[in-house]
Amino acid sequence: MEQNTQALPAHVEEIVRAIERLHADHRRQATRLERAFERTTALLGRPAFLGVLTLLVLLWIGGNLALPRIGVAVLDVPPFPWLEGALTLMALYMAALILTTQRRADQFSSHREQMTLQLAILSEQKIAKIIALVEELRRDSPEIRDRIDSEARAMATHTNPEAVSQAIKEGGLARDQENSIRRTPNGPGTKS
């Protein structure tokens, strides 16, 4: 496989380095215990772990069924309460490990989402400024016929993030109300 040796543009390299720093900061801020939990969760999430666990359960059951045949006392008689207790305890610890690891991953994801939102707002502002400048250039250029472009005028105005957020919330509420009306036994379109 041929490796691409062409250098990336400087602005792309800068973005890649910024993302690498973000991930490095996230790893650096983790405590030793959090890193140990992440490694353990990663280990438990592999298919090999499921195979080993299944093998151990089968060996436990098989061993406890075979021991009486060779005259040895059974450690765990069917229905295998010790095995059930051990698996329940393991499930409890696995759930706690997963929740702990997920909480940390959610914090990082929330940080990335906030950054994405801020960059989107900044990009929208830059795009609106570019459209406004192009429209100004069009109006000022004698070679271009002047005309009213309402779409360009609308796109040249900055969007208010709070207004967008409120509109989304109101739209969500309207959909929720519409869905609750449909679910109501005597809602519109139903006969009493």
Query: For residue 182, what pLDDT is reported?
Result: 55
Separation in Å, CA 157 to CA 102, 126, 151: 40, 11, 10
Residue 141 has pLDDT above 60, yes or no: yes
Query: For residue 138, what pLDDT is reported?
Result: 84
Mean pLDDT of the chain: 84
Q: What is the largest CA-CA distance in the chain?
A: 106
Q: Domain map of the chain by residue range?
A: 31-183
Closest CA relative to residue 64, chosen from 88, 91, 84:
84
- 100-106 contacts at long range (C-beta below 8 A, 24 or more positions apart): 100/34, 100/37, 101/34, 101/37, 101/38, 101/41, 104/30, 104/34, 104/38
Query: For residue 187, what pLDDT is reported?
Result: 46
Average pLDDT estimate for 71-96: 94
Residue 83 has pLDDT above 80, yes or no: yes
Q: Tens digit of pLDDT for each residue in 96-136?
A: 999 999 998 998 898 889 888 888 888 988 898 998 898 88
Q: Tens digit of pLDDT for each residue in 147-178?
A: 788 888 888 887 888 887 788 788 765 565 56
Query: For residue 177, what pLDDT is reported?
Result: 55
Query: For residue 188, what pLDDT is reported?
Result: 47
- Which residue type, as a one-letter code, is found at position 82? W
The residue among 3 and 162 whose pLDDT is bigger is: 162
Question: Which region among 32-36, 68-72, 160-164 has the lowest average model confidence (pLDDT)?
Answer: 160-164
